[in-house]
């Protein structure tokens, strides 16, 4: 075994197993954490003559890393990098292998306050009509039309993350109650009402098009019956955004933003929306109240004679 392989097996691989096994983070989160570590350690090797001893990394090294990364990536990405690094060092401190974190006292650049982008209810309606429009014009098969409509209805009707939709199985859905039990970030479980329309589409899909409705069978599949990937859903969305003449930078996650915003617009309680989204902290959900306040102020500015 080479020195680099030995170092990886000593420090990185146990941490990766902890993320995916004990914490049950998604493969995408684990990938991002590990990429942050690779970026950090590569920086140390090339810029500070680091010898590979994790115990000798200093606060100054961490500051230099943050300063250098600000020249290369966005502030949000820098924050994501440091989040992964903090988790790494906390893990080894708990294991008794490190006495301190070289990130203690590290100051990060402030993030710009950016409200989540969302679609209006009219835009959502145009988007959801897309699959049936193509079916009426015989541009796609009934299988594709109902599969695509199901994807869009579940993204908006249940507020799923795209990874949660890709992983959804028939065993997670209660057809009698119209809800799905979802295991989201950090292994946190929540119940998601699917809505009358989404349940009707799902029922038709299950009866007429599903290759398998076994307990562990994926709900959303390709025409060959294979589980779909997040990338496939992203491409599907691009197609229907173009069809509806909507902005092409809208993403599946922005449909989730729309789901939350429309719930609050129509009187839903903030804590209920927190539960529906699977947010561990209320502060994460509260950003959607700022969206509503911003819209109220826009209306006021346009309509009030003394605005």
Tens digit of pLDDT per residue, the chain (307 long)?
455 667 888 899 999 999 998 888 888 889 999 999 999 999 999 887 788 889 999 999 999 999 999 999 988 899 999 999 999 999 999 999 999 999 999 999 887 666 556 788 899 999 999 999 999 999 999 999 999 999 999 999 888 888 889 999 999 999 999 888 888 776 777 888 888 999 999 999 999 999 899 999 999 999 888 999 999 999 999 999 999 998 888 888 888 888 888 887 777 776 777 777 765 554 555 555 555 545 544 544 554 454 3
Instruction: Provide the pLDDT for residue 299.
Output: 43
Helices 230-243/252-265 angle, 10° precision:
70
295 is catalytic: no
Give catalytic status of residue 290 as yes or no.
no
Q: Which pLDDT score, from 0 to 100, does residue 145 have?
A: 96
Q: Please tell me which residue in 256, 257, 259, 262 is annotated as part of the active site.
A: 256
From the CB of residue 237, how many other CB atoms can be counted at a distance below 10 Å?
Answer: 24
- Residue 253 designated active-site: yes
Catalytic residue among 149, 257, 262, 279: 279
233/222 Cα distance (integer angstroms): 11
| Contact indicator for 172, 180 with CB cutoff of 8 Å | yes
State the pLDDT at residue 290: 53
Q: Which of 185, 190, 227, 254 is catalytic?
A: 185
Give, rounded to a whole angstrom, the gap between the first and last alpha carbons of the chain.
71
Active site residue 262: no
Q: How many helices (H) and strands (E) does the chain have?
A: 13, 3
What pLDDT sits at residue 192? 84
CB-based contact 198:130 (threshold 8 Å): no
State the catalytic residue, choosing from 147, 149, 161, 262.
Answer: 161
Q: Give 175's contacts (C-beta < 8 A, 6+ positions apart).
A: 199, 202, 203
Sequence length of the chain is: 307
pLDDT score recorded for residue 307: 38
pTM beyond 0.85, yes or no: no
Write down the residue that tokens 């995408």 correspond to: 28
Nearest to 33, CA basis, from 82, 73, 68, 72: 82
Residue 133, number of CB atoms within 10 A of its CB? 15
pLDDT of residue 113: 64
Q: Rounded to whole angstroms, how far apart are CA atoms 194 and 202?
A: 9
pLDDT for res 275: 72
Q: Which of 133, 227, 253, 295 is catalytic?
A: 253
185 annotated active-site: yes
| Residue 279: active-site member | yes
Kindly list the structural domains of the chain, giving each domain's residue range(s) and its CATH number in brackets, ordered by start. 3-94 (1.10.150), 121-249 (1.10.443.10)
Distance CA 26, CA 18 (A): 12
């Amino acid at each position: 075994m080479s020195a680099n392989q030995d170092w990886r097996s000593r420090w990185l691989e146990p941490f990766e197993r902890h993320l995916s096994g004990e914490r049950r983070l998604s493969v995408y989160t684990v990938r991002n954490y590990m990429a942050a570590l690779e970026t950090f350690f590569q920086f140390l090797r090339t810029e500070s003559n680091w010898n590979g001893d994790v115990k000798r990394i200093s606060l100054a090294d961490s500051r230099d890393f943050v300063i250098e990364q600000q020249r290369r990536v966005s502030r949000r990405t820098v924050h994501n990098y440091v989040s992964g690094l903090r988790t790494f060092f906390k893990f080894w401190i708990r294991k008794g292998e490190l006495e301190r974190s070289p990130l203690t006292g590290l100051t990060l650049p402030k993030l710009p306050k950016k409200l989540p982008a969302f679609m209006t209810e009219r835009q959502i309606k145009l988007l959801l009509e897309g699959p049936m429009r193509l079916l009426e014009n015989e541009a796609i098969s009934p299988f594709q039309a109902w599969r695509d409509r199901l994807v869009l209805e579940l993204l908006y009707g249940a507020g799923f993350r795209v990874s949660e939709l890709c992983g959804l199985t028939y065993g997670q859905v209660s057809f009698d109650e119209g809800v799905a039990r979802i295991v989201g970030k950090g292994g946190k479980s929540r119940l998601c009402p699917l809505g009358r329309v989404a349940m009707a589409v799902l029922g038709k899909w299950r009866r007429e098009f599903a290759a398998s409705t076994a307990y562990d069978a994926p709900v959303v599949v390709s025409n060959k019956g294979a589980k779909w990937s997040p990338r496939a859903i992203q491409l599907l969305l691009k197609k229907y955004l173009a069809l509806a003449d909507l902005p092409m930078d809208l993403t599946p996650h922005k449909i989730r933003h729309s789901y939350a915003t429309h719930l609050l617009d129509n009187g839903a309680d903030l804590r209920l929306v927190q539960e529906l989204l699977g947010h561990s902290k209320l502060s994460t959900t509260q950003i959607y109240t700022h969206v509503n306040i911003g819209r109220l102020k826009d209306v006021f500015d346009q309509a009030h004679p003394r605005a």
